Amino acid sequence: MADSNRERDLILAPNEYAFISDQTKGNINVYVGPYKTSLANTDKPVMFAAHTKRFEHCSLDESILPFVIAPEGWYVVMKNPPKDGNQPKTGTSNNLTELNIGRKVNIPGPINFALWPGQMATVLHGHHLRSNQYLLVRVYDEEQARNNWAKAVIKTKGSSDSSEDNPDEVVSKEDVPDLTMGKTLVIKGENVSFYIPPTGVEVVRDEDYEYVREAVTLERLEYCILLDEDGNKRYIQGPAVVFPEPTEEFIYKNGLRKFKAIELNEKSGIYIKVIAPYTENKVSYKEGDELFITGKDQMIYYPRPEHAIVKYGKKERHYAIAIPAGEGRYYLNRKTGKISLQQGPTMFLPDPREAVLIRRILNPKKVALWFPGNYEAIEYNQKLQELTKGDAQSFVEDSEIQAQMPESASLARQEENRHPAKKREKASKEIAVDEFDRDSSFTPPRTITLDTKYDGAVTINVWTGYAILVVSKTGTRKVIAGPQSYLLEYDEELEAVELSTGRPKSSENTIKTVYLRVLYNKVSDIVQAESMDYTQVNIELSYRVNFEDTSDKWFNVENYVKFLTDHLRSFIRNAVKKHNIVDFYAKGIEIIRDTVLGKAEESGKRPGRFFEENGMRIYDVEVLDIKLSDIGIENLLIASQQDVVRQNLRVASEKRKLEFTQEAESIAQAIAIAKSETTRQNIELEKKEVEKLLQLTLSKADAEIESKQRHLDAELAKQGTLNEINQAEVKRTKEKEELQLEIAQIELNQALEEIKAQVEAVVAKSEAVSPNLIAALQAFGDKALAEKMASSMAPLAILGGKSVAEVFANLFKGTNLSHVLDTFKDKQDPSA
């Protein structure tokens, strides 16, 4: 029963309070410590749940709550304040008072108090502001805000810090702003270092649930954009600390709210659309005007509200393109539709208001004809053709190609995010000052790689010995001879020629090409002819051809190979017809060369054969083979020639044998003479060598005798010195031994004296000990031993039924102590 009563006792310490509900009346009382009371059975502890706004039953321990405490520099935001302004009194029970339900007040610290039932309080830290921070406050009670505006706790930047009693002084505001319900105001850190809002005003949290907001600190070459609720934008350039107005917010892009100024140079620019009229440098611009600003006009560009940047994809800046020497780029005039060619070397920066870079598309047939074997070019032009999607135009803009590239296609366009998840800007721990960095190693110059293989105009590389015919749609034509590169204008094409192939050459098998070989060309053919004696002959030829005269004639004949071979076949057949087969078979090459190239002149050169139609000249001809159609005749001719060859070979062999014999004998004689001369020279050399060896031996003997004599003289001089050294060492040894003997004698005498003194001391001690002293000492010792034994053995004697004396007598019988025991026994016997 006593334990039950103790459980109903409510004990509150200072700064504690509890809500107790009277179940009979429904009232809720506030007990404020220090206080002790016993609760009735009808009293139930309760607690106020802020999220449900209801009282919930709980245990007695759970109902005990601490005071709301706001230290110096903090404040309390309390909802449902009491109408009389008084909180529950300490040390007593308080009945429920009337509350201003739905009201909210701000109470600066230091303060502590208990809450009435139904009240809610939040303790907040006073808002400390740096110069680049700010608060956004909102009026939630217009009347209270006006009445309490001057009660805000404010520490301004210019206030004195000497006051220790009231560091957070209350400053009365003479200029009261517009405090309409819902009005938002900005408290800037550049003016206020500490702030506690008055009643009627609350501090608005940001997206990260923080009260203090970061202003934007702009450095040089930086800017930010503020968007007002009315849709106007404000651009601010650094260096500056930017605080937004209550109706403004920062514009974010890619999670950032400050941006770098756009750096321009003479090779870059930006495309601007004017969206609002303005005047700058006495020049007026109206809405809709387009500007292209380059580094020549403005090296550093800051955006302004009247400008909108025209972008192609994600590119903001337009850069000049490098056109190397020998290359070019097509560009289309957007106003006139004319396509022009810009040739290199140059850095070409087209004005996007007028010029658009385009690429020319070649169909597969043209690519195969102009660039034989270049499958990469065919594939690339097919991709460009797909981009046009069946349009009639044969060009495509560079921007379209970039949009179709995998890199660009995989990046979705990002919209401007004005409310990203805010990240707190951290301060670096490193020292940030203006400095010069001087590298200890060599910094190589900036390097770029140009790959404009398919970007520019169609380039035809004419090799050495080749030529092309360029024809424009206006009818002009020109021949380009290599080696050089030629950039085709957009309306220019290459004229193709056909060449017969195979042997003999015919018009059935031809190839088409735009490249004409004009130097050192080679044309092979087979000519079938008949001799005077009606023998068929097949002649294999190879003509060497150059194109001369004016180049305008070179492409006049479409198939110059067929033209050449047809013309020369008639000449060769006519020449063969004038000779019988034996003569022609023997001198066929000479006959053909004279027919095709003409007779050799005095200089030994042949004039060749020139064609007026296209400026072609045959400067040489090679007869590769001459075959007869009749094998039998050919075999007879071969056999006849072989007999002649055999006879000639036999004669030549005998001649070579004679020449060999004569030459061999001459060589043998020369060898004998050479050997005799060699033997004589060897004897002379051996004689000279023996003489030199004798001289060397005599020189060595003389040198050895002289060396030995010097060695003996040195030994003799050395012996005298050694004798003197030995005598000195013997003398020193003798003196050392004598000194050691003297020291030993002295030490011996000292030892004898010490022994003698010890002996005399022992004798004196022995004389001092008399027999009486020895007996006395012995008696004292025996007595002490007997007494100790008696005390130790007494219990044993008692146990044995004998006296101590008897025990000792038996124990030491026959020893030197027996007389001591007898004496002790006599003393114990009273009859003695």
The DSSP-derived string for 554-618 is TTSSS-HHHHHHHHHHHHHHHHHHTS-HHHHHHHHHHHHHHHHH----TTS----EEETTTTEEE
Which parts of 288-397 fold into alpha helices (H)? 364-370, 375-388
pLDDT score of 730 more than 80: yes
Q: Rounded distance, CA 713 to CA 725, Å?
A: 19
pLDDT tens profile 19-64? 999 988 889 999 999 999 998 889 999 999 988 889 999 999 999 9
Going by C-alpha positions, the residue among 203, 208, 212, 210 that lies closest to residue 133 is 212
Average pLDDT estimate for 673-686? 87
Residue 431 confidence (pLDDT): 34
Q: Which of these ranges, 6-15, 327-336, 417-426, has the smallest mean pLDDT?
A: 417-426
Residue 123 confidence (pLDDT): 95
Place of tokens 């800037």: 188
Q: For 480-512, give the DSSP string.
A: EESSEEEEPPTTEEE--EEEE-TTTT-SSSEEE
Average pLDDT estimate for 322-328? 84
Distance from the Cα of residue 86 to its chain's centroid:
67
Residue 125 confidence (pLDDT): 93
Residue 715 confidence (pLDDT): 81
Higher pLDDT, 92 or 536: 92
Residue 399 confidence (pLDDT): 53
Given a contact cutoff of 8 angstroms between Cβ atoms, the answer to whether 786 and 807 are in contact is: no
Cβ contacts of residue 466 below 8 Å, gap of 6+? 481, 482, 515, 516, 517, 518
pLDDT category of residue 130 using cuts at 50, 70 and 90: very high
pLDDT tens profile 334-354? 888 888 888 888 888 888 888
Say whether the peptide bond before residue 504 is cis (omega within 30 degrees of 0).
yes
Q: For 256-288, give the DSSP string.
A: BSEEEPEE--TTEEEEEEE-S-EEETTEEE-TT
Given a contact cutoff of 8 angstroms between Cβ atoms, the answer to whether 263 and 300 are in contact is: yes
Q: Rounded distance, CA 398 to CA 312, Å?
A: 10
Going by C-alpha positions, the residue among 483, 515, 474, 518 that lies closest to residue 498 is 515
Question: Within 10 Å of residue 469's Cβ, how many Cβ atoms?
Answer: 20
Residue 679 confidence (pLDDT): 87
Q: Rounded distance, CA 689 to CA 470, Å?
A: 89
Question: What is the CB-side half-sphere exposure of residue 318 using CA atoms within 13 A?
Answer: 24
pLDDT score of 195 more than 90: yes
Place of tokens 């097509």: 330
User: What pTM value is reported for the model?
Assistant: 0.52
Residue 421 confidence (pLDDT): 40
818-828 and 771-800 helices cross at what angle (nearest 10)? 70
Residue 792 confidence (pLDDT): 61
pLDDT category of residue 385 using cuts at 50, 70 and 90: confident
Q: Rounded distance, CA 251 to CA 254, Å?
A: 10
Would you give the DSSP letter of residue 448? -
pLDDT category of residue 761 using cuts at 50, 70 and 90: confident
Cβ contacts of residue 236 below 8 Å, gap of 6+? 218, 223, 224, 225, 226, 242
Distance from the Cα of residue 428 to its chain's centroid:
22
Assigned token pair, 40:
């009735």
Q: Rounded distance, CA 139 to CA 145, Å?
A: 7
Residue 284 confidence (pLDDT): 93
Q: Rounded distance, CA 528 to CA 625, Å?
A: 12
Going by C-alpha positions, the residue among 286, 295, 288, 342 that lies closest to residue 318 is 295
pLDDT score of 811 more than 50: yes
* Distance set, CA 443 to CA 206, 438, 439, 440 (Å): 47, 10, 8, 9
Residue 430 confidence (pLDDT): 38
pLDDT tens profile 508-526? 888 889 899 999 999 999 9
pLDDT tens profile 767-794? 666 666 677 667 766 666 666 666 665 5
Residue 198 confidence (pLDDT): 94
Higher pLDDT, 351 or 632: 351
Gyration radius of the chain's alpha carbons: 65
Residue 470, amino acid: V
* Distance set, CA 689 to CA 679, 685, 686, 779 (Å): 15, 6, 5, 124
Given a contact cutoff of 8 angstroms between Cβ atoms, the answer to whether 803 and 826 are in contact is: no
Q: Rounded distance, CA 616 to CA 194, Å?
A: 100
pLDDT category of residue 215 using cuts at 50, 70 and 90: very high
Given a contact cutoff of 8 angstroms between Cβ atoms, the answer to whether 29 and 95 are in contact is: yes
